[in-house]
Amino acid sequence: MAKGGWSRRDVLSRSVYATAGVGAAQLIASAAAAGTAAPPDASAHDVVLHVNGIDRAVRIESRATLAEVLRGPLALTGTKIGCNRGACSACTVWLDGTPICSCMIFAVEVGARAVTTIEGLARGTELHPVQEAFIAHDAMQCGFCTPGMALSAAALLEQNAKPTAEDVERAISGHVCRCGSYPHVVAATLAAAEARKG
Amino acid sequence: MRNFAFGRARSITQAASSAGLVAEAMLAPDGGARSQDFRVVKAGGIDLIDLMKEGLLAPAEVISLAGAPGLDAIAPTPEGGLAIGPMVTLARLAADRMVGERYPALAEAAGESASPQIRAVATIGGNLLQRPRCWYFRAVEFRCLRKGGGHCYAISGENRYHAIFDNRFCAVVHPSTSATALVALGAEIELTGPDGATRRVALEDFFVGPDTDVQRENDLKAGELLTAVLLPRAAGLRMKQMKLAQKESFDWPLADVAVVLDLAPDGACKRASIVLGAAAPTPWRARAAEAVLRGKVVEAALAAEAGRAALEGATPLSGNAYKAPMFEALVKRAILAAAAS
Amino acid sequence: MAESGAMRTETFPVGVVGVGLADETRQIPAGEPPPLPPNAELAVIGKPHPRLNGRDKVTGAIRFTVDVAPQGMLFARILRSPHPHAEVRAIDTSAAERDPQVRAIVHAIALDDPAHAVVRYVGQPVLALAATSMSAAEEALRLVRVDYRPRPFVVDLDEAQRPESAKVYDAGAAPGSSSGELAAQAGLPVEGNVRGPARASRGDVARGLAAADVLVEGEYRTQVQTHCCMEPHGLVADWRPDGLTVHFSTQFTAGVRRELANAFDLPLDKVRVVVDGMGGGFGSKSTLGNYGRLAVALSRQAGAPVRLTLTRPEEQMDSGNRPATHQRIRLGARRDGTLTAISVESHGTAGVGLNAGVGNFAQSIYDCPNFASAQYDVFTHAGPGSAMRAPGNTPGAWGLETAIDELAERVGVDPLALRARIDPSPVRREERRIGAEKIGWARRHAAGADSGPIKRGVGMAQSLWGANVQTASSIEVRILRDGSVEALSSVQDIGSGIGVVIAQTIAETLGLRPEQIAVRVGDTNYPPGPPSHGSRTTASITPPARVAAWKLLRQLFAEAAPALDAASSDLVARGGRIERRSVPTRGMSFAEAASLIKGDMLSATETRSEDYGGFRRTMGEAALAQQDLGGVQFAEVAVDVETGIVRVETIVAVQDCGRPMNPLLLESQIHGGVLMGLSYALYEERVLDRNAGRMVNANLEAYKVAGPREVPVIEVEVLENLQGRSATDAYGIAEPANIATAPAIGNAVYNAIGVRLRSLPMTPMAVLAALGKAPTRS
């Protein structure tokens, strides 16, 4: 580590006064930090998001991405943020059944469209065939990219009941997995396709 | 990013009146944050959100085009061509039957861009108007020439992904693979102002090189909305789009080429349009290569000669000389593939 | 079994299963279980059981550190240096302090000490603050004013070695030691930016080179690679009057706990480190780190939990990296390829840090009487390196295995035949045999022989890695009165699936199924377990798990024996039952036996004992098993010589890890190592702008990680290499699987195009330049 770093005696303790006012918990829960005085209305919105079949009412800022709202006030932490730039697809959710990067869309734009997160892929305790296959084929290691991968794989099977390995690779081509789960993800998805046929 | 007021355009003219110029706002170091009435329109938002997250752009208002009628159709034109609304996503473009049958080069360009997730949201309008991917341009820490600063960091720095043509002042490459195909197809675009008045411009002429103005990539004016991409008749045309990237998964091209050929019944080339992408700040017409083909029957040796001619005028930088042999091979292969299509 | 004090003698099957096993005797601690037979005779060990937390991972239920959000949590951000080298003259936080949403500010730079008031790389932390929301924290950072006086800097490895270059450290100020997994040799001289050499030698390398018939000399380069963990570095620190709890994305809960206790003057029992889901470490998350210290200090100051998570650009710039190397290798050999000398001189840069070496690969893998290496660290103004999946040996294998391939070409000996002459390892001999057949080595042609623009080639390379063991690895196993079984250890599952492997170990011993074992890991409230780096987790924790389960079983037998009219020694546990060995119909279910327990439970805590027959070397709590781990990988590539693009079509990986515990999870790990090695070979590279000293591809867009469409056919085979050295005889796989891939691909590229690439990554630019079709950068 760089020299000029860190030891206890170097910590310059400064107490920062905090107003009791605007409750921190409230701010966090609503993910709508006041910041500087916001313009009225159009910069904060009361919306109803349809997530996993349930209507969720939430107050959000314009700048809040769908990923942030899902993970924050909606407490659906299955959706992960890997790069926050749409380059890794860890934040994949379905919008009306189509996989998109939830970090690259503002929550306020979602409107009436149906959002499906990884939490909504299973039916109660009954896992989706893709999820079963992912477990059986060990299509995961650390698991951070897994929710997005599973949603991409499951969406593919809705479009294409008999995908080839290349079809699967294309469908998941936006995903970055550092652990190297790709081969097992492909095998699992093909197996899930087989299982659904039967 | 900074917060902003969000609204939805109800009509094209309303949208146009909200359309501030992103290129202009990005000349300010704070990305336009100081201006209380700087508004931009948003299509898919893939480029917009990236610029805002990087702190390069800070509009006071973002107006979504989703839901404004008349912007997302794909329909035949009276001339036998195709009109594509700017809000058509790349995914839809790639999957459309009419586009796939008549303009396969465009379908291929759109379908091989980015990732499935991005293609599902990114629009053709946004794709044509997106700002360059140059890593200095995209970093708020570098106040480069294109953003109103005094210096191109790529020319004297890391330029492996940058332009080999027209790179005296600024070395960005135009980032749109679809633009390469559309220019080769002779596409026009329609722009609509806040009063409803429209103008049409050849896409090739719409892009602006650094010699003209290094601070923008196109001729879009404030208050204008791109409202249609117009393709001419394609019957009988042979075409091919090819790209080369380091990775086949989600990666920007190192080189891409679109070739459109109008062949006579005897196979002689009546007209050729060869456009290079990721080569220059604008889609680059390889006119010398086109001249090589004119009047001749396409075969391997001719295609190779055209490939070499495509590099005429190239001025590679310290890190991108490899693009020359790459384009040479790509042009040759695309010509042969187009002729065989 | 003969008993002798605290030890007894046992006979173990030793060798590679399928090749030949011989009996060898070992002295083992008297209380440890008897030898395990080969996997084929076992019920659960060695079988492809899915990981236990698979369901939680595919449903999104598993909680990563970034998902933890206790009530009242604050959000922290770090203010980082924009300069590669600068004095920090003043820091004005007054505006940030006035912001009511800012609850704590902690400095990382000590302004009062001019020697320390310096930043040495773009991204170096200057201070951190915690606020009531992420956006408030980001906005508050903008309110901080820092007065920097920039100084000259150098980021290029070659340039930094020149005497006239800017110095990263003033005389005497360079780091002399390193924390974490790697230990830099202490007391080495520093001249300018160059520290070293760290030397190793045997024999007389000058004489060996002089005696050679053939000399191969080459310069080999490797790039800086970043870890790209998908879950960023981060923690949630919760400082309370009754103790500190830290949720931490870490590879070493027990180690971080000790670091925290030291750093903050706390007793160990007041510090708890917890991790459930852990999104990748690859060597970069073994320590508390600057960011960890800052977050805890913020929490203490604010009196509230604080989450600090790095953004992706911060990950790329300042979470560690695999250092770049420049290696000069000389091989001396006889005409038949046998080696007379190996000389390696390497200069590597870990930025402002240490440990930019090339490991022990060249020193250890081949028979060669004369060896010398001199490894230097070169300081540059760039983010510090850290261990990354087989540190040292990965770049070291690139250099040496390429040089050996060049030697094979020079002496006209097939690379496999050459290995047969110089490689003493019988395990790798078998791996070569298997791999050669799978890849179709026999149809390999002369280099560059294919006609047409697409040229194919086949190549191979080998892997050597120490079999690391952490002796201070403990696990508690409990059998509860209702028959349920628990295992508890602070060991963390970083994605390798250690949970199910522990479960398999215990289930095998108790005659149960893995899903009947509740494995609780990742919490320092449990007995301290090993770190998950150095590929040592399985080797460290499975033996004590078996021993503990075994001892509990003895106790259970003692409870059940009277009810079955048997002696304890007549009982066996199998198929969920406790039965009389001689009369299997006399038995009871495991649960019934457990119900006879007099307390609520039986519990045994065991710590990893020494390998039977001893370790090769011990360094504190870390030890090296007698036999190294290895592997051999083969690659088939197709190179487009007109465009320079290399496609890897097939990789065959034949690896060994002692006793393979779970072939399904092992295959995943091997895929991971191979793909990381492939990505290192072809795509990844940290690009630093030398004029600004800043990383220009600090993202996942322009920093290119292999994606799904780059994946070749990967054929995996794992040898069962029994050595009779511990209660499970299981060792690691993660790093050995990463070492050979890049040189295997590089040697395949040579075979394809007849032109040698000696630098990584083998980008299309590099291939075209090597083919003479485009100049390299001027």
A174 and B117 in contact (C-beta within 8 Å)? Answer: yes
Identity of the residue numbered B49: I
A50 and A107 in contact (C-beta within 8 Å)? Answer: no
Minimal C-alpha gap between B54 and chain A (Å): 9
Q: pLDDT tens digits, residue range C156-169?
A: 999 999 999 999 99
Q: pLDDT tens digits, residue range C99-108?
A: 999 999 999 9
DSSP assignment letter at C44: S
Contacts of C569 (CB under 8 A, 6+ apart): none
Neighbours of A, requiring at least 3 CB pairs below 8 Å, are B, C
Closest to C528 in 3D by CA, of C608, C467, C603, C604: C608
Can you tell me the distance from the alpha carbon of C401 to that of C412, in angstroms, rounded to the nearest whole number? 16
Query: Taking CB atoms and an 8 Å limit, are B322 and C768 in contact across chains?
Result: yes
Query: Taking CB atoms and an 8 Å limit, are A173 and C293 in contact across chains?
Result: no
Can you tell me the distance from the alpha carbon of B331 to that of C499, in angstroms, rounded to the nearest whole number? 54
Query: Taking CB atoms and an 8 Å limit, are C774 and B156 in contact across chains?
Result: no
Residue A31 has pLDDT above 80, yes or no: no
**Residue C737: helix, strand or coil by DSSP?**
helix
Query: Taking CB atoms and an 8 Å limit, are A16 and C51 in contact across chains?
Result: no
Query: Taking CB atoms and an 8 Å limit, are B250 and A173 in contact across chains?
Result: yes
Count residue pairs from B and C with Cβ separation < 8 A.
93
Q: What is the DSSP string of chain A?
A: --SS---GGG---EE----SSS-HHHHHHHT----SPPPTTTTEEEEEEEETTEEEEEEEETT-BHHHHHHTTT--TTS--SSSSSSS-TTEEEETTEEEEGGGSBGGG-TTPEEE-GGGTSBTTB--HHHHHHHHTT--SS-SSHHHHHHHHHHHHHH-SS--HHHHHHHTTT---SS--HHHHHHHHHHHHHHHH-
Can you tell me the distance from the alpha carbon of C677 to that of C669, in angstroms, rounded to the nearest whole number? 12
Strands C102-107 and C74-80: unpaired
Q: Would you say the C-alpha torsion B123, B127, B131, B133 has a positive or negative sign?
A: positive
Neighbours of C, requiring at least 3 CB pairs below 8 Å, are A, B
Query: Taking CB atoms and an 8 Å limit, are B330 and C707 in contact across chains?
Result: no
Residue of A nearest to B49 (CA): A104
CA dihedral B34, B36, B42, B45 (to 10 degrees): 30
Contacts of C148 (CB under 8 A, 6+ apart): C81, C82, C83, C86, C87, C88, C89, C119
Of A62, A84, A98, the CB nearest to B53: A84
- Angle at which helix C393-411 crosses helix C415-422, to 10 degrees, equals 110
Can you tell me the distance from the alpha carbon of B241 to that of B284, in angstroms, rounded to the nearest whole number? 14
Place of tokens 């003057």: C265
- Is C778 touching B (CB cutoff 8 A)? yes
Closest to C621 in 3D by CA, of C632, C601, C638, C607: C607
- Angle at which helix A129-136 crosses helix A182-197, to 10 degrees, equals 130
Q: Would you say the C-alpha torsion C719, C720, C721, C726 has a positive or negative sign?
A: positive
Query: Taking CB atoms and an 8 Å limit, are C704 and B135 in contact across chains?
Result: no
- Is C642 touching B (CB cutoff 8 A)? yes
Q: A9 falls in which pLDDT band (50, 70, 90)? A: very low
Can you tell me the distance from the alpha carbon of C322 to that of C135, in angstroms, rounded to the nearest whole number? 32
CA dihedral C522, C526, C529, C533 (to 10 degrees): 10
- Is B251 touching C (CB cutoff 8 A)? yes
Query: Taking CB atoms and an 8 Å limit, are B157 and C769 in contact across chains?
Result: no
- Is C293 touching A (CB cutoff 8 A)? yes
Best mutation target, C55, C58, C81, C278, to test chain A (most A CBs within 10 A)? C58
Radius of gyration of chain C (CA): 27
The CB density around residue B39, as the number of other CB atoms within 10 Å, is: 20
Residue of C nearest to B158 (CA): C689
Place of tokens 């091997």: C670
Q: Which residues of B touch C708 (CB under 8 A)?
A: 249
Identity of the residue numbered B57: L
Place of tokens 């604010």: C302
Portion 56-85 of B in contact with C at CB < 8 A: none
Q: Which residues of A touch C294 (CB under 8 A)?
A: 6
Structure tokens at A23: 């409750």
Structure tokens at B88: 């058509």
Closest to C673 in 3D by CA, of C722, C718, C621, C720: C718
Q: A33 falls in which pLDDT band (50, 70, 90)? A: very low
- Is B34 touching A (CB cutoff 8 A)? no
Q: Which residue has the higher pLDDT, B67 or C169?
A: C169
Of A43, A152, A171, the CB nearest to B5: A43
The CB density around residue C778, as the number of other CB atoms within 10 Å, is: 8
Identity of the residue numbered C427: V
Q: Region A123-130: what's the mean pLDDT?
A: 96
Contacts of C209 (CB under 8 A, 6+ apart): C215, C330, C332, C340, C341, C343, C370
- The shares of helix, strand and coil residues in chain C, as percent rounded to the nearest 5, are 30, 30, 45
C414 and C405 in contact (C-beta within 8 Å)? Answer: no
Minimal C-alpha gap between B176 and chain C (Å): 16
For residue B269, give Cα distances in angstroms to B241, B272, C213.
18, 7, 62
- Burial string for A58-67 (b: 16+ CB within 10 Å, else e) reads bebbbbbbbb
Can you tell me the distance from the alpha carbon of C456 to that of C637, in angstroms, rounded to the nearest whole number? 6
Closest to C581 in 3D by CA, of C573, C593, C589, C592: C573
Which residues does residue C488 pair with via DSSP β-bridges, in sequence order? C476, C520
Structure tokens at C197: 């050499």
- Residue C215's H or E segment, with its range, is strand C214-222
Q: What is the DSSP string of B303-319?
A: HHHHHHHTTTT----TT
Please tell me the predicted confidence (pLDDT) of residue A149: 98
Query: Taking CB atoms and an 8 Å limit, are C73 and A28 in contact across chains?
Result: yes
pTM across the whole model: 0.95
Place of tokens 């000996």: C413
Residue of C nearest to B54 (CA): C313
Closest to B192 in 3D by CA, of B161, B155, B230: B230
Best mutation target, C57, C120, C379, to test chain A (most A CBs within 10 A)? C57
Q: How many CA atoms lie within 13 A of C729 on its CB side?
A: 28
Q: What is the DSSP string of B242-297?
A: EEE-S-SSS---SEEEEEEEEE-TTSBEEEEEEEEESSSSS-EE-HHHHHHHBTSB
Please tell me the predicted confidence (pLDDT) of residue C350: 97
Question: Which runs of consecutive H residues, i.e. helices, occur in B122-219?
Answer: 124-129, 177-184, 203-206
- Is A170 touching B (CB cutoff 8 A)? yes
Can you tell me the distance from the alpha carbon of C319 to that of C309, in angstroms, rounded to the nearest whole number? 11
Minimal C-alpha gap between C384 and chain A (Å): 6
Q: Is the peptide bond before C761 cis (omega within 30 degrees of 0)?
A: yes
- Angle at which helix C253-263 crosses helix C289-302, to 10 degrees, equals 60
Radius of gyration of chain B (CA): 20
Query: Taking CB atoms and an 8 Å limit, are C709 and B321 in contact across chains?
Result: no
Residues of chain C with pLDDT under 70: 1-5, 776-778
Residue of C nearest to B304 (CA): C642
Query: Taking CB atoms and an 8 Å limit, are C135 and A33 in contact across chains?
Result: yes
Q: Which residues of C touch A138 (CB under 8 A)?
A: 50-51, 54, 497, 664-665, 667-668
Strands C339-349 and C371-378: parallel
Structure tokens at C109: 């730079």
C153 and C85 in contact (C-beta within 8 Å)? Answer: yes
**Residue B21: helix, strand or coil by DSSP?**
coil
Q: Which residues of A touch C700 (CB under 8 A)?
A: 82-83, 85, 87-88, 176
Can you tell me the distance from the alpha carbon of C597 to that of C372, in angstroms, rounded to the nearest whole number? 61
Strands C190-191 and C517-520: unpaired
Q: Which residues of B touch C642 (CB under 8 A)?
A: 325-326, 328-329
Place of tokens 């093909």: A190
A185 and A139 in contact (C-beta within 8 Å)? Answer: yes
- Is C690 touching B (CB cutoff 8 A)? yes
Residue of B nearest to A95 (CA): B120
Count residue pairs from A and B with Cβ separation < 8 A.
86
Please tell me the predicted confidence (pLDDT) of residue C1: 38
Of B136, B158, B322, the CB nearest to C644: B322
Minimal C-alpha gap between C29 and chain B (Å): 53
B257 and B335 in contact (C-beta within 8 Å)? Answer: no
Residue A35 has pLDDT above 60, yes or no: no
Q: Which stretch of A3-12, B323-332, C464-473 has the lowest confidence by average pLDDT?
A: A3-12
Structure tokens at C94: 């007054």
Residue A3 has pLDDT above 50, yes or no: no
Strands C145-150 and C86-92: antiparallel
Can you tell me the distance from the alpha carbon of A151 to that of A132, in angstroms, rounded to the nearest whole number? 13
